[in-house]
């Protein structure tokens, strides 16, 4: 079973099995400085669990969620069908082109699932990020906790998160600009820009 099949088969119960820590998410999004009317791309949106938090920070801006799981996207579309300025697209950011330019791009709890982490991040920044935009990679848990979970519970092999400074240096070596990189025993995030 590949990860897309896993997501498709678990999409119905996804919202009931995942707990969103409001304090951690708010802290991370505050660090990301979402502005009013920002155009935002939510990569790996799943069922759109992060969308309400992003929408709260940016109620008038456009939000686009992309995911490679058809079932997840269909659930997200249904959940937000009556909310203006929110759209969803079935797409794999590693192989598909995402149309549009965005002020903010968010990869929330999805970065370890990318097969080509550096090149995909670079592609999103070069092709989809506005000149003064920012890209956020974030996890509302520690690297140790996430890596432990991945090692024991993932349905397929998933590469683990690297030490924040090692990941930052890899981005820098690839010519990407890291504004902030932080991790502790509760969260992990990196903010990049053009």
pLDDT tens string 86-103: 999 999 999 999 999 999
3-state secondary structure string, 77-115?
HHHCCCCCCEEEEECCCCCCCCCCCEEEEEEECCHHHCC
CA angle 141, 32, 172 (to 5 degrees): 80
CB atoms within 10 A of CB 114: 20
Q: What are phi and psi of 187, to 5 degrees?
A: -145, 170
Tokens coding 59: 């109620």
Does domain 3-193 fall under CATH 2.60.120.10? My reply is no
pLDDT tens string 60-89: 999 999 999 999 899 999 999 999 999 999
Domains of the chain by residue range = 3-193
Do 91 and 41 contact (CB within 8 A), yes or no? no
Give the whole-angstrom CA distance, residue 164 versus residue 109.
15
Of 36 and 128, more confident: 128
Give the whole-angstrom CA distance, residue 12 versus residue 130.
35
Give the whole-angstrom CA distance, residue 19 versus residue 34.
23
Give the whole-angstrom CA distance, residue 161 versus residue 130.
27
pLDDT category at 16 given cuts 50, 70, 90 is very low
The packing angle between helices 70-79 and 3-10, to 10°, is 40
CB atoms within 10 A of CB 9: 13
Beta pairing, strands 129-139 & 102-108: parallel
pLDDT tens string 17-38: 556 788 999 999 999 999 989 9
To the question of pTM greater than 0.85 for the whole model, the response is yes
């Amino acid at each position: 079973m590949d990860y897309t099949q896993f997501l498709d088969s678990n999409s119905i119960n996804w919202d009931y099995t995942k707990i969103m820590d409001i304090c951690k998410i708010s802290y991370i999004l505050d660090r990301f400085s979402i502005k009013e009317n920002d155009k935002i791309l939510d990569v790996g949106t799943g069922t759109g669990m992060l969308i309400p938090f992003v929408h709260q920070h940016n109620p008038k801006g456009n939000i686009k969620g992309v995911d490679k799981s058809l079932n997840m996207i269909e659930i997200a579309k249904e959940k937000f069908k009556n909310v203006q300025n929110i759209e969803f697209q079935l797409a794999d950011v590693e192989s598909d082109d995402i149309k549009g330019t965005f002020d903010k791009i968010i990869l929330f709890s999805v970065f370890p699932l990318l097969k080509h982490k550096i090149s995909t991040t670079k592609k999103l920044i070069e092709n989809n990020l506005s000149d003064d935009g920012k890209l956020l990679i974030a996890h509302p848990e520690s690297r140790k906790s996430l890596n432990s979970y991945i090692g024991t519970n993932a349905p397929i092999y998933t590469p683990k998160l690297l030490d924040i400074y090692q990941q930052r240096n890899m981005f820098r070596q690839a010519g990407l600009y890291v504004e902030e990189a932080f991790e502790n025993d509760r969260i992990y995030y990196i903010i990049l820009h053009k």
